[in-house]
Amino acid sequence: MTTGVLTRQLAPGIEVQIVSPADFGSAAADLVQNQLAVKANAVIGFPTGNTPLPLYHELLRRQQQGQIDLSQLQPVMLDDYLGAVGDEPISFYNWLRREFFDPAGIAASRIWRMPTDPDGIDEACRRYEQGLVERGGVDLQLLGLGLNGHIGFNEPGSPADSRTRVVKLTETTTVANAAYWSDPSKVPHSGVTMGVGTILEARSIGLLVNGAAKAEILRAALLGPMTTAVPASLLRKVQKVHVVADEAAASQLG
């Protein structure tokens, strides 16, 4: 367990673990390690973005040290861009492979890829959900937090019972996402995401939040009204959420 952490209960079933920035990756990696300790072939949903990078670095470090066994892990995806097919560089699938799956030796055949081909996408989204069911459901869903409160690409207004589907991205999101890619003008304006309802069905959920820029929205998500206007606030509907926040992100929690 990471040392020097403060764990608080802000809402029923929502545990908030506040850590120093140096411990952030380790605290997030503990969620994965604890899950794999009870189920070696756990189905785990992985997010993209800047937030989970310390998590992936730490998981790779632990694997190299022989401290964690990822050989049976069943990874699933949270979201991607509509049209990010094949080897398209602006793709969360390829981002995850580069940052985590490939260096961890996780074969592409083990990854349940979010569909992105616009052709037949609605049916492919249904098959994606079916694939989660066939894997026995998601054991641990890891999430980042968008500046506007989105989880995955569930933008404000996304219903609590929404399923995997195509969504129109807000300008806040496309601007924030431009930071991931060398050509910001090419960031797609539509995404494909697990729905809020899909996420809430996971057996456990880890919300990872770091940096001062997320302090206000994390406060709104955990202490403000539970509303579709702040999709992350809907996580309070279920009592199985563990938040890992660094001190800057947690600074508005009182």
Interface contacts to ligand GLP, rule CB under 6 A:
47-51, 78-79, 144, 146, 152-153, 173, 177
Burial 187-215 (b: 16+ CB within 10 A, else e): bbebbbbbbbbbbbbbbbbbbbbbeeebb
> Which CB sits closer to ligand GLP, 70 or 207?
207
> Which CB sits closer to ligand GLP, 39 or 178?
178
| CA distances to 64, 74, 154, 175, 208 from 245, in Å | 26, 25, 20, 23, 6
Q: Is residue 155 annotated as a catalytic residue, yes or no?
A: yes
Antiparallel, parallel or unpaired: β 165-168 and 140-143: unpaired
Minimum Å distance from CB 79 to ligand GLP? 5
Catalytic residue among 148, 154, 177, 210: 148
| C-alpha R_g of the chain | 17
> Which CB sits closer to ligand GLP, 49 or 188?
49
Q: How far apart are CA 237 and CA 157, in angstroms?
A: 16
Catalytic residue among 150, 154, 201, 242: 150
Minimum Å distance from CB 53 to ligand GLP? 8
> Which CB sits closer to ligand GLP, 173 or 204?
173
Residue 91, token pair as written in the block: 């793709």
Task: Assign 44 to helix, strand or coil.
Answer: strand
Residue 170, token pair as written in the block: 């807000």
CA-based end-to-end distance of the chain = 25
Minimum Å distance from CB 81 to ligand GLP? 9
Minimum Å distance from CB 65 to ligand GLP? 26
Q: Is residue 57 annotated as a catalytic residue, yes or no?
A: no
Output the residue with the shortest Cβ distance to ligand GLP.
144
Minimum Å distance from CB 70 to ligand GLP? 21
Q: How far apart are CA 181 and CA 187, in angstroms?
A: 8
Residue 223, token pair as written in the block: 């202490």
Q: Is residue 210 annotated as a catalytic residue, yes or no?
A: no
> Which CB sits closer to ligand GLP, 10 or 53?
53
Q: How far apart are CA 125 and CA 120, in angstroms?
A: 9
Residues identified as active-site: 79, 148, 150, 155
